[in-house]
Amino acid sequence: MKKIIIITTMAAASISQPVFAKIGVARVVQCEISGDQGVFTGPCAFTPYEHGDFSVARLPGKRFYGRSDEIYLAMDAPGKADAEITDGVTHSRWGTMLRSKVKPACWIDAEDSRFKVCAY
């Protein structure tokens, strides 16, 4: 898994979540997430952001994908997004995701189709 550096307005010694402009409130949706930490199918919190960006996150007290707390998808172009995953402490770049033509609610890693994020 590739690591990225997130630059925030916080002090350099602290780690903070990436800054996205939220446009909606989180709502519970069904998620399907698969990758090197296994498979998660179940309810999660979906939060929309500007420009089509969104995140899916663990619900309080519930299990989620591996050790992760949240996955962010930031749109690069129509049908193409950059994915980041966080465990609440560190952020890692997950890769470039492409929107599925068969299941538009799903985003699949451009280099490895085993990595997938779906939010229904």
Q: 27-119, what's its fold?
A: Lipocalin (2.40.128)
Which residues are paired to 32 by β-bridges? 41, 118
pLDDT on residue 7: 28
pLDDT on residue 32: 96
- What tokens does 53 get? 């960006």
- Spatial distance between the Cα atoms of 69 and 113, rounded to a whole number of angstroms: 22
CB atoms within 10 A of CB 40: 19
Could you list the pLDDT tens digit for every one of the 120 residues in the chain? 433 333 222 333 333 445 556 677 889 999 999 998 889 999 999 999 999 999 999 998 888 888 889 999 999 999 999 999 998 888 899 899 999 999 999 999 999 999 999 999
pTM reported for the whole predicted model: 0.78
Distances (CA, A) of 92 to 26, 78, 98, 105, 116: 22, 23, 18, 22, 16
In the chain, domain spans: 27-119
